[in-house]
Structure 1
Amino acid sequence: MTAPGITEALQFALDASESVRGTTSPNPPVGAVILDADGRIAGVGATAPPGGPHAEVRALAAAGDRARGGTAVVTLEPCNHTGRTGPCAQALIAAGIRTVYYSVPDPNPIAGGGADTLRAAGITVHPGLGAEAVLQGPLRAWLHRQRTGRPHVTWKFAASLDGRSAAADGTSKWISGPESRARVHDQRSRLDAIVVGTGTVLADDPWLTARLPDGELAPHQPLRVVVGTREIPTSARVLDDAAPTLVLRTHDVQEVIAALGDHPDVLLEGGPRLAGAFLAAGCVDRIQAYIAPVLLGAGTAAVEDAGVSTIAEALRFRRERVETVGSDVLLSLVPERDA
């Protein structure tokens, strides 16, 4: 049984990890907590932007001398290699840490092996603490890229009860409620990239920025990616300087995936045809469907041309989570292939 203090420390580490998601690539957004010898929190750290210290080093710096004889709780196995910064395993050893808990092993063959180094130094190591929360949480996209070599793509859409993303006249503001829209802006502030098609830009002129509840721009803005061969006007809001923008003149999903290789956490917000293309290519790793208590009876379907012509070819997903967000229901689904 895990001690209450360790469980609390893990939650602090998860929160620290989530707070830097979207800012650390190509490094993972790790969170770390140092407990002193009496089990009290002495330091909390999260991965700095590239070139800066890793989570363990920042947590050790916050803890200072209180780290000696203490415990480290980390969301990812401490790294075991020297890159732009030194190995975190050695930093923990030098600080006099006696026990290390970590959630998931580092799958990178260059950086992995930190647990063995810690054990060789006489440190007690406990793997697997809160692994499910980390796998489905802040490290999800980074671990996916390590495993598959490509970004993790979440398709997000809002729809009526009858599966419409717009009414018969093309209007879609607003199908989902204000709480759902606020949730999406919070999510955008932790992403690496947002993808839409030229059709969405021409029809809606979206800004694709992450905004705070007061309407101000969030400190972190994801890369805005526009896909398609149609020209978009230079006055389009997505081309302003509020956030970086990449225009990809292609309809090839694999070309888009390749162009986003350095952006592990990608949100697909495009229209029904772009969503269908990603689904048909097998490049949707999660669906976040905001279903509003609204009936439209006609209008644009949420997805088109997903490569399905018969029920036997249906793209099947399994439920990961169901939440209520204001008046809406948020379904988080993952492909059955990933079961």
Structure 2
Amino acid sequence: MSAEALDRRLMAAAIRLAREHEGRTGSNPSVATLIVREIDGSPVIVGRGVTAIGGRPHAEPQALAEAGELARGATAYVTLEPCAHHGRTPPCAEALVSAGIARVVAAATDPDERVSGRGYAILRAAGIEVEEGVLAAEAERGLAGYLTRRMKNRAHVTLKLAVSANGKIGRRDGKQVAITGEISRRQVHALRALSDVILIGVGTAINDDPDLTCRLPGLEDRSPIRLVLDTHLRLPLTSRLAHTARDVPLWIATAAQQDDPRRAELAACGAEFIASDAHQDRLALPELLEDLAARGLSTVFVEGGAAVAQSFLAEGLVDRLVLLTGEATIDGDAVDAPITRQTIPSAFRLVSSATFGTDRMDEYERV
């Protein structure tokens, strides 16, 4: 295997490791580090680390601690440029230098002005060989929330739509129709577990009365914050969302006044509120995403409502599309899907396709 092929293979392993804590590292990105050295003529992983739950410690010191003295003269594979700024702990770039790392292979560059390029500069100044940009695009997919928050000052948005074979997403009378099967629904729960926030409109909350939790065995504690767009506070106190607000966080974005009695009633259930501006009865989405970013939240998974989906699309706020197409058709007075596989806007490119049971999942990213 060539040196370039080996670097790509080990970086791919690091990127997979980084996914373990995706959505669980607070305002910090989930980053992975592998420490690799040659033993008896073969490369061996002697240390590994991934950003801890909550965001600390970072991946590099964990991997170095596991490697111990074997880190001296070894190669470090990092999915994001090592941090260069002093906080409560020394910068990760300096930790790599102190450990005697001889070479660093990095994927994505950190856009944080306290780090960008400076982490690499610290390494090179110490005589460490640095290879940048190895599988950068692949690493950036997992880091998309963090990168969007840093570069655009807003949360990254994934829009999920389940579309019937005839291009519908539901019935106008509110009766629920199964568009996709159980295997696809489990995939959606897995995507929820990777997100900071799951968002729906209040119409969907009223019609479907969803839980919006991750119900995969072993991942129940990875349910994201549930956020409802509710301009006038119409969410019923009898809803599942309100009933479980003390178990799984429920946030409500609203333009209702502070003295609206509904605020006190929902607050008593455990709901929290994000004050939002409204125009023509629609909440200001760009400002909402900025508010979420200011709270250290990086990823929003938009699940519910044709109107909500269309609003995010119309304002150019969708970064990733997950389109589930089922075999069933919805007849009668049905709601047209804002997007189908045949009408994907030119601003998006297909990045992956998969089949789950009889359903197809296509994933697109903004170009």
Sort the Cα spacing of 1:51 and 1:253 in 2 relative to 1 into closer, same or farther, 3 A.
closer
Instruction: Confirm or deny that 1:303 pairs with 2:338.
Output: yes
Q: Supply the distance in 2 between the matched residues of 1:27 and 1:116 (Cα, whole angstroms).
A: 22
Q: 1:227 aligns with which of 204, 229, 242?
A: 229
2:260 counterpart residue number: none
Offset from partner CA, 1:5-58 (integer Å, 9 cap, x none): 433422331122111111113111111101134321011111124462111111
> How many angstroms does 1:283 deviate by?
1.1
Within 5 A, what are the aligned runs for 1:133-282? 133-136=138-141, 138-167=142-171, 169-212=173-216, 214=217, 218-228=220-230, 229-239=232-242, 240=244, 241-250=246-255, 251-261=283-293, 262-282=296-316
Are the counterparts in 1 of residues 176 and 208 from structure 2 also a CA contact under 8 Å?
no
Give 1:1-339 correspondences, 5 Å limit.
1-38=2-39, 39-50=43-54, 52-112=56-116, 113-136=118-141, 138-167=142-171, 169-212=173-216, 214=217, 218-228=220-230, 229-239=232-242, 240=244, 241-250=246-255, 251-261=283-293, 262-298=296-332, 299-303=334-338, 316-335=347-366, 339=367
- Where 1:219 maps in the other structure, the secondary structure is helix
How far apart are the structure 2 equivalents of 1:202 and 1:108? 40
1:124 aligned partner, one-letter code: E
Structure-2 change in CA distance of 1:14 and 1:51 (3 Å)? closer
- Provide the rounded CA distance (Å) in 2 between the counterparts of 1:59 and 1:237: 42
Quote the Cα distance in structure 2 between the aligned partners of 1:76 and 1:82: 17
Give 1:308's aligned residue.
none
Say if 1:217 and 1:33 are closer, same or farther in 2 by CA, change over 3 A. Answer: closer
My pick for the range that moved more, 97-106 or 32-41, is 32-41
Q: Which runs of 5+ in 1 are unaligned?
A: 305-310
Residue 84 to residue 181, structure 1, CA distance change in 2 (3 Å):
farther
- Quickly say closer, same or farther: Cα 1:111–1:84, change in 2 above 3 A: farther
Give the Å deviation of 1:77. Answer: 0.9
Take 2:28 and 2:145, find their aligned partners in 1: how far apart are those partners? 11
Q: Determine helix, strand or coil for the equivalent of 1:243.
A: coil
The AA in structure 2 aligned to 1:245 is L
Q: Which has the larger displacement, 39-48 or 172-181? A: 172-181
CA RMSD of aligned residues (A): 2.1
Cα drift, residue 323 of structure 1: 2.1
Structure 2 alignment gaps of length 5 or more: 256-282
